[in-house]
Structures are given as structure tokens and as C-alpha cells.
Amino acid sequence: MDNLLLLFQAPPLALQLLIDGVLIGAVFALAAYGMALVWGVMNIINVCQGEFVILGGYVALHAVRAGVPALLGVPAAAIVLFAVGWIAYRAVIFRVVERDLFISLLATYGLSILLGQLMSLGFGANLESFDPGFGSWFLFDGVVTIAKVKVVAALVTLVIAALLVAFMRRSRLGQAIRATAQNARAARILGVDTDRIYAMTYALNAAICGAAGALVMMIWVIQPFGGLIYTVRSFMIVVLAGLGNLPGVIVAALGLGAAEQFVAFILNPQLQIAFVFSALVVILAFRSWRLRRHRRYLA
């Protein structure tokens, strides 16, 4: 709690936490957008979302270590993860798309275990990260430090988000994806190959996660079993924002990023994970309470 006093004594510190949190939150928004996409189009809650993020981080890490410029790691991870997502769809997901949520939840949960374990075997269980060496800005006599790489990551996120929105609005495929989300049966009657749309959607989601992971690898750390927390963050953001609400997703993601930074600073950095998972439970409990009130009015 001493750190709380510190925040009041040195307000620039709060600014530091806010900036860090918002910049990291931008990356959360990407993964959350992907989750909302799969959820909305395929009615699947993709539990292995976080593993895709981490896998993207590893792909980018190895690309960068092999000599690829740091920022090109992002498209590299996206392309590899697109393939991974496609394979995952063709191997497992297409069998569970039209079945109930119980099965698809468990199937993606199994995929999440599988991917986590494979990554731990393939890449080792250590924490890994890569600093591209962009340097930092120092404000307020060095009290506030802004790593340039975080700003770059947030800008890259912005570019990806703009591309995605344009893709969904303008392109033929984007239209087909939206049509399938609205009504899969009607889309099929009108000549949309929904199986292909599902495959594209799932692969696209994996690619988005891969890009996010490449950014996480540069601004933070990755670890084979650190995937679940990204799944939970994405789910939390989507639940807070509501499906199909892009501005909501952005606000919720930035807010979550900032909240995490403040909690880690005020309480204890080790409690950050506990905070994320507890926040999920609290948010869902709140939702449950609100639903109950709503039901009472109906009764």
C-alpha cells in the first residue's frame, strides 16, 4: 500500500502507468477483436486464442533472431499463424462448428493444452523476449520513461485494425464473412461457401493473434504456458464491450491494460495474473447479477 501513497506524492508516476497500460492494452484489443470475430461468425469461444498469441510471439522471435528486421516479424508471424489456424480448422474445428458450445469449448480447450505443451517442448519453458533497441523517451526529468517500441507497437496495432475494418467493410470476402455471421443458412442459400468462410475466419483470427503475439514478444515477455491469460483478457474485453462493438473493444482493452498496470504497481507485480483472472470472475458475477435484476422486472 506504500506505493499508493507514492502515486499521490509523484503524480507523473501515475502518468507513466497510464501510458504503459494504454500502449499494452492496444495489443489486447487485437486479440479481443479476433475472438469476437470467431465468436460472432462461428459461434465458437476460442479457448486457444492465447496460445495463438504466444505461438505468434515465438515465430516472430525466431524470425528476428534469424536476422529478419524486428517489425517484419509481425507479418511473418501473421502469415505462419494464418496457416496454423487453417490447419487447426481443417483438422479439428470444422467438426465442432455446427455442434453445441459444450463440445466446441472443450475441443478448443484441448487444443489450448496441446499447443501449450508443444510450445514448451519445442521452444523450452523459459521466459523469452526481444528488445529491438529503439530506445526510450524520458519525460519529467526521467520520472516517466516511454519505451519507443511500445509506441511503435500501438501504432502497428492501429494500422492492423484499420486494415481489418477496411477488409471487413469493403472486400467481397469481408462481406461474405459478415453475411455468414448474420445468418449462416441464408448466406449458404445465397451461394456463400460457409465452410470456406469459417476456415478463412478462423485462420484470419489466428493471424491477428499471431501479429499481436509478435508485438507482445517485443514489448513484454512470452512463455509457453502464458496463453490462457490472453484468452481470458480477450473474453473479458469482448464481454465488457459486447459482440460487434469495435469502439467498445478498444475502450475496454485500453482500460484493462491501464488497470493491470495500476494493480501491479499498487499491490504487487506477482498479483497481476491473479488480478486478471479475478477480474473476469467479478465481471461475470456482475453480469449475472444484472441479468437477475432484469429477469425480476420481467417476472
Partner 1 sequence: MILVRKVLPLALLALAVTAPFLLPAFRVELTMLWIMIVLALSWDILGGQMGYNSFGNIVFFGIGVYTATIVQIGLFHDVGEYTAAAGMQTLSFTPTQYFIGLFVGLAAAPLVAAAAAFVLGRALLGLRGHYFAIATLGLGIAAGELAAGWAYIGGSSGVQVPVYPGSLESGRLLLYFLSAGLGVATFAALRRLYATRFGLVLNAIRDDEDKAEALGLRTTRYKTIAWCIAATFLGLAGGIMGHIIGFIDPREVAFAGASYGVWMVLMAILGGKGTLWGPVIGATLFYAMRNLLWTYLFGWQNVAMGLLVVAVVVFFPIGILGWLKRRHPQIFLRGAPATREAP
287 is an interface residue for partner 1 by CB under 8 A: yes
45 is an interface residue for partner 1 by CB under 8 A: yes
Phi, psi of 40 (to 5 degrees): -70, -40
Report the distance separating Cα 206 and Cα 199, nearest Å.
11
Q: Which of 29, 73, 44, 46 is nearest to 210 (CA)?
A: 73
- Tell me the window of 139-147, 161-169, 210-218, 283-291 that interacts with partner 1 (CB under 8 A): 283-291
278 is an interface residue for partner 1 by CB under 8 A: yes
* Exposed / middle / buried, residue 175 (Cβ in 10 Å: 0-12, 13-18, 19+): middle
- Tell me the window of 10-18, 142-150, 157-165, 265-273 that interacts with partner 1 (CB under 8 A): 265-273
For residues 83-122, which are near partner 1 according to CB under 8 A?
A: 92, 95-96, 101-103, 105-107, 109-118, 120-121
CB 268 → partner 1: shortest distance, Å? Answer: 7
Q: Which of 18/114 has CB closer to partner 1? A: 114
277 is an interface residue for partner 1 by CB under 8 A: yes
Among positions 155, 165, 166, 281, the unique one binding partner 1 when judged by CB under 8 A: 281
DSSP 72: G
CB 98 → partner 1: shortest distance, Å? Answer: 13
Phi, psi of 48 (to 5 degrees): -90, 15
259 is an interface residue for partner 1 by CB under 8 A: no
292 is an interface residue for partner 1 by CB under 8 A: yes
CB 178 → partner 1: shortest distance, Å? Answer: 22
Report the distance separating Cα 177 and Cα 179, nearest Å.
5
Q: Which of 18, 3, 6, 10 is nearest to 255 (CA)?
A: 18
Q: Which of 53/111 has CB closer to partner 1? A: 111
Contact of 53 with 213, CB cutoff 8 Å: yes
User: In the chain, where do the E strands start and end?
Assistant: 136-139, 144-147
What Å distances lie between residue 117 and 49, 174, 223, 233, 273, CA to CA?
A: 15, 34, 11, 21, 20
CB 276 → partner 1: shortest distance, Å? Answer: 8
Q: Which residues bind partner 1 (CB under 8 A)?
A: 45, 47, 92, 95-96, 101-103, 105-107, 109-118, 120-121, 225, 228, 231-232, 235, 239, 268, 270-271, 273-274, 276-278, 280-281, 284-285, 287-289, 291-292
